[in-house]
């Protein structure tokens, strides 16, 4: 017996939270959208009732209505999702130590030796499910996978959705995985799926039967070897993750689709990114701005800077880049800003030129950060962002696959 990992995957999380908070939505097909009344947007999540009709993340509103005429659209409430996530994390953490939160709807913990027997592990999983129903609500289901390594535990959590519980020990491998589509395997994206098909690996059984040398050749690197070991239930040492970027992007609502308004939205996003930068104690050495004009005209510019976390320095660089945009382009429809070449404060060497360190401005921005933390994130800001700061629709807080917002840093305050 070596059941070392317990993986929790929350079922249709955004939709389940809405159904928990609104009893009128329970047992009904719902789609979560960024904003109601916009026919050109798409679903960012769908309930299981909607998924049965073929509605999924990324399905357009018109298509979703065609597939499921009875669908109810709900505007996403990201603050509610973050708050619910935090309550769930605190609840589970009292039962089992959570080693890592991977996303808003995924987390895992390692089972101590005394909990690794099959029945003990199952009872812990059932305790988590029961406690969640009592403290969070009946409508927020969790599918749990238990296995010798994290990789298999994650796959197991997907096998019996919703509200599943699957245990796969060494004796259950590899046959216990045969029912999983290749496209759902962690680490198998669209391009890798094509490579596997070219190698005549068409299903999970064939993938599990492949040799280590064969997978190394298909992946073209040691990642193929890591996949081979992971499929055997062997825990492969995880590579240390180093934060590489801080970014924000926003599809502009119609009333902000002008060059002036887009410029303000980009500055709002840059100031949000700088606040995150300072909160995490990082410095950025590269700024990249992207704009989509109309439907198919894309423009981007970038600039390297001495590593900084100063909003003013980066705003000046942004303004210089903005002047390079195509002046005759159509109205902007989407804007993005990316800070990269990140360096942690522990590895940062201040400039030899005192004027570049801007000690007083750093103190000012720390004071601004504290005011925004205490009184709301739109309390004080630099004037370049004024139009966007006054609009509820300008770059609001959003949850991404890789980022759970910190409400103290990013809550919009509306």
Return the active site residues.
106
User: Do 145 and 10 contact (CB within 8 A), yes or no?
Assistant: no
CA distance 264 to 257: 11
CA distance 383 to 278: 20
| Beta-carbon contacts of residue 116 (< 8 Å; ≥ 6 apart) | 1, 2, 3, 4
Residue 232's SS3 state is: coil
In the block, tokens 């007083």 appear at 360
45-46: strand order across its sheet: 45-46, 30-33, 72-75
How far from the centroid of its chain's Cα atoms is residue 297's Cα?
27
Residue 95: φ, ψ to 5°: -100, -45
Tell how many helices (H) and how many strands (E) occur in the chain.
16, 13
Residue 285: φ, ψ to 5°: -115, 5
In angstroms, what CA-CA distances link 288 with 22, 237, 322, 356, 387?
A: 41, 33, 11, 21, 22
DSSP string, 92-116: HHTTS---EEEETTEEEEEPPGGG-
Query: Whose CA is closest to 124, among 109, 134, 105, 140?
Result: 109
Alpha helix positions (H), 162-310: 190-198, 204-209, 212-219, 222-231, 259-279
Q: HSE of 329 in the Cβ direction (CA atoms, 13 Å)? A: 23
If one counts every other C-beta atom within 10 angstroms of the C-beta of residue 127, the result is 13
CA distance 212 to 216: 6
Query: Whose CA is closest to 348, among 356, 180, 406?
Result: 356
């Amino acid at each position: 017996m070596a059941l070392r990992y317990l993986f929790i995957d929350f079922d249709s999380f955004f939709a389940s939270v809405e159904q928990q908070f609104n009893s009128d939505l329970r047992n009904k097909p719902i789609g979560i959208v960024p904003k109601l009344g916009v026919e050109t947007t798409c679903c960012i999540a769908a309930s299981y009732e909607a998924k049965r009709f073929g509605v999924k993340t990324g399905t357009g509103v018109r298509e979703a209505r065609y597939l499921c005429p009875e669908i109810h659209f709900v505007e996403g409430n990201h603050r509610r999702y973050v708050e619910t996530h935090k309550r769930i994390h605190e609840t589970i953490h009292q039962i089992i130590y959570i080693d890592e939160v991977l996303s808003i709807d995924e987390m895992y913990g390692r089972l101590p030796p005394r909990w690794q027997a099959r029945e003990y592990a199952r009872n812990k999983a059932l305790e988590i499910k029961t406690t969640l129903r009592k403290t969070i609500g009946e409508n927020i289901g969790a599918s749990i996978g238990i296995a010798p390594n994290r990789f298999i535990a994650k796959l197991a959590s997907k096998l019996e959705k919703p509200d599943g519980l699957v245990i796969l020990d060494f004796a259950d491998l590899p046959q216990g995985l045969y029912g999983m589509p290749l496209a759902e395997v962690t680490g198998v994206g669209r391009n890798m799926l094509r490579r596997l098909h070219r190698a005549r690996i068409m299903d999970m059984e064939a993938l599990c039967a492949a040799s280590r040398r064969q997978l190394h050749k298909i992946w073209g690197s040691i990642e193929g070897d890591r996949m081979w070991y992971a499929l055997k239930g062997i825990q492969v040492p995880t590579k240390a993750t180093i934060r590489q970027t801080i970014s924000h992007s926003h599809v502009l609502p119609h009333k902000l689709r002008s060059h002036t308004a887009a410029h303000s939205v980009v500055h709002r996003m840059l100031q949000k990114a700088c606040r995150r930068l300072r909160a995490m104690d990082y410095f950025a050495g590269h700024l990249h701005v992207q704009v989509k004009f109309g439907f198919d005209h894309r423009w981007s510019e970038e600039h390297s800077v001495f590593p900084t976390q100063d909003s003013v320095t980066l705003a000046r660089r942004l303004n210089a880049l903005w002047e390079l945009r195509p002046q005759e382009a159509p109205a902007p429809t989407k804007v993005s800003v990316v800070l990269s070449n990140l360096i942690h404060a522990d590895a940062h060497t201040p400039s030899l030129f005192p004027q570049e360190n801007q000690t007083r401005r750093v103190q000012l921005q720390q004071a601004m950060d504290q005011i925004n933390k205490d009184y709301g994130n739109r309390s004080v800001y630099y004037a370049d962002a004024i139009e966007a700061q006054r609009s509820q629709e300008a770059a609001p807080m959003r949850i991404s696959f890789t980022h759970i917002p910190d409400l103290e840093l990013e809550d919009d305050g509306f």
